[in-house]
Amino acid sequence: MRQVEVPTVDDVRAARERIRGLVRETPLVESDELGAHLKLETFQPTGSFKVRGAAAALTAPGSGGRVVAASAGNHGLGVAWAAQRLGLEATIVVAETASPAKIEALRRFSATLVLHGADYDEAEAHALSLAGEGARYVSPYNDRDVIAGAGTIALELLEQLGHELTVVVPVGGGGLASGIGLAATPAGARVVGVVAEASPAMRTALAAGESVPVPVRETLADGLAGNIEPGSVTIPLCSRLLDDIVAVSEDELAGAMRVLVCEHGLVAEGSGAAAVAALRAGRVEVEGSAVAIVSGRNVTLDSLMSVLSY
């Protein structure tokens, strides 16, 4: 079991200073359809919020040398992009079943791409073994700097909207939810996590008090799919910082993707639309202004067309 230092809100503030000018401060738009605001992390250079955590990790004090990451796609893109910008060597491990759109996007960077395993869990295990050969392993969620980088979204939201917020956040391994919770809850905001019914790893872990392996079914929210590393710091962080955690179905994810395209002209992958799905389904108790984190846009054209033609 890896020992990972637990981040604080001061780590989030420090991360923001390090990545300022490297990643984008993303726009916030109002949705009449939802009665909520949309925080558009789809406008990041890699199409996902993951670039924040990657940039924070690769610019942290003492960083340098070779890095290894396992990813369902978006974290790998973030690490590959940040490594190329900073002149670092990176190896990205993805499952052989990962999204073709994300694999193709990864090939555009100078990072070494390794396809390994039938699912994310196998890819992660292989990445950890590679990192044991002298590189730093940058987890997509169980990493102090990655969590702090994700939390910079909340600092922006507090400046853009004020403090009376209910922030709705997609949850896979819990890095995004942990980071946003660290920065938003001291200001009195509510934070609600959203998992896919097909892969409810964090919801199950919070109920059990520890990481519990769950069956992972096929889901539009491939970025949220997979189990959680045993001992991950995100489990106690989410337990402490989330006001609630809810699940959405595949039909609800597809409906949210359609609404984002048809009502707002926005492309989002299934995981990126999870917060919108939860709001549309009425599963979120809202206090103040509701904000849905639209976390990523990297979806294959075939998948998007299938959703839109449903």
What are the residue numbers of the active site? 50, 295
Using DSSP bridges, classify how beta strands 28-31 and 36-40 pair: parallel, antiparallel or unpaired. antiparallel
Half-sphere exposure of 290 (CA within 13 A, CB side): 22
DSSP for 55-76, written as a single string: HHHHTSTT--SEEEEEESSHHH
Q: What is the spatial distance between Cα 106 and Cα 75, in angstroms, rounded to a whole number?
A: 10
Q: Quote the CA–CA distance of 291 and 268 in Å, as a whole number.
A: 16
Q: For the sheet containing 36-40, what is the strand order?
A: 28-31, 36-40, 289-294, 165-170, 190-196, 244-248
CA gyration radius, the chain: 17
What are the backbone angles phi and psi of residue 224, rounded to the nearest 5°?
A: -105, 0
The answer to whether 180 and 203 have CB atoms below 8 angstroms apart is no
Look at the chain and count its residues: 310
CB atoms within 10 A of CB 29: 11
